[in-house]
Amino acid sequence: MTPKEKAKELVKHFMKIGMIGFELKARQQKAKQCALICVDEIINTGVHTDYIKVDGYMLSLVEFYTEVKQEINKL
């Protein structure tokens, strides 16, 4: 899964929960904020030794989730 795909997946998960009554644009913004909080928590865990293979390249989880964070901000 690419960082862009992961970003979309996380935001999509948060679009489903707890935001009934908000307009679509407001729900999207809230979902992005929630996804960013999750990604920041992952980045700040201090676990820097795990790696993930993305498009044939090995990235540390910190590198991967830093890219996910950038992709969330682009949505």
| Percent with pLDDT over 70 in the chain | 91
Within 13 Å, how many C-alpha atoms sit on residue 53's CB side? 1
Calpha distance 40→42 (Å, rounded): 5
What are the residue ranges spanned by the domains of the chain?
3-74
Compute and round to an integer the Cα radius of gyration of the chain.
13
| Mean pLDDT for the chain overall | 88
User: Per-residue confidence at 37, pLDDT binned at 50, 70, 90?
Assistant: very high
Q: pTM of the full predicted structure? A: 0.84
- Please, what's the b/e burial string for 42-53 (b: 16 or more CB within 10 A of its CB; e: otherwise)? ebeeeeeeeeee
pLDDT at 5 over 80: yes
pLDDT in tens, 9-30: 999 999 887 666 778 888 889 8
